[in-house]
Amino acid sequence: MDWNAELEALVREHPEDDSVWSVLQDWTLERGGLRARIIERLQAGDEPGAQEAVWELEEVLFGAHLKEFRLAINSEWRAGYLVRCWLKGRPGGRAALLDRVLSLRCSALMTRLHADLDLPEEVAPLMEKLRGTSLRELALNAYWKPTLPVVFEPSMLEPLRIERLHLMSRAMSLPYGAPLTRLTELWITPGSPDDLLRLFAPVGGFPRLTELAVYGRTLEHRHGSHAEPFARILSGEATPRLRRLHVRDVSEVAQAALLEAVAESPLLPKLEQFSFSYGGLDLHAVPERIRPAFVHLERAE
């Protein structure tokens, strides 16, 4: 396969610039092959044909790995490059699978990666391998045992330009750090109330954050059902632009406590979404006494 390092570097510097991608796409088309066929089918509006070409290319790239790792891959290609990748591999083989994907030249311009991890020790090496990529979205699902919190150091995000960070399934403590100021979207699974309180302690610490999702199962299991850990979030001081807040995987007792706290918070009038799931808020589940405070969320949905 042919590659153009100069155009790749230009796209890496300007991954949101469609005109730069267009130049690289034209260059790839001129070289022909499976990568060009994907582009041609998409340009023709033939999505089934494009998907067939993608499957054929994935067979070439991942061949033995499809069976060896029981790989499930949901991918998106642009200009002949793998720009979004959602990987689901078998336990014990996930790190090797990531190594394979990230070693491919066609992954050089990846902007979105969703992957599973087996061991806490895999976090730092993965972040090191991602240096120099164009990643804007990183989602990590952790499956290690025991489920004790693991620290995800913000310094690992340098020199990446991550804007959307999802840390899920197992508790990961995320200390506050300068790289987090770039985030527009954050999904976290805290292990303790202090994780939340410290993360959102700096006033204006998340100047661009518009969406926050907190997975509370581990938090609630270890520390009970109450709203105090969310006090810094609900004050709105750390997140002046927050418009979507979701607290997922918590009990009805925790939901009731949070509804009371949110109803009295200065953050609520600014919110466009608040829920305990991936959908909108069910107003029928809100106590009638405080329901009027949440009515604007129903209209926003």
Q: What is the pLDDT of residues 152-170, one digit of tens each?
A: 999 999 989 999 999 998 8
* Other C-beta atoms lying within 10 Å of the C-beta of residue 276: 20
Q: What is the pLDDT along the chain (301 residues), one digit of tens a residue?
A: 789 999 999 998 888 899 999 999 999 999 999 999 999 999 999 999 998 998 888 888 876 655 555 455 678 899 999 999 888 777 777 887 788 888 888 998 999 999 999 899 999 999 999 987 889 999 999 988 876 778 999 999 998 999 999 999 888 999 999 999 999 999 999 988 899 999 999 999 999 999 999 998 777 766 666 788 899 999 999 999 999 999 999 988 899 999 999 999 999 999 999 999 888 888 888 999 999 999 998 754 4
The 10 Å CB-count burial string (b at 16+, else e) for 179-207 is bbebbbbbbbbbbbbebbbbbbeeeebbe
Q: Report how far residue 154's alpha carbon sits from residue 142's, in angstroms, rounded to the nearest whole number.
A: 17
Q: Kindly tell me the sign of the dihedral angle through the C-alpha atoms of 198, 201, 207, 209.
A: positive
Degrees (nearest 5) of the Cα angle 124, 127, 128?
Answer: 85
Q: Read out DSSP for 88-104?
A: E--TT-HHHHHHHHHHS
Domains of the chain in start order, with CATH, are 63-300 (3.80.10)
* Residues constituting the chain: 301
Report pLDDT digits (tens) over 160-217: 999 999 999 888 999 999 999 999 999 999 988 899 999 999 999 999 999 999 998 7
Cβ pair 107, 78 in contact under 8 A: no
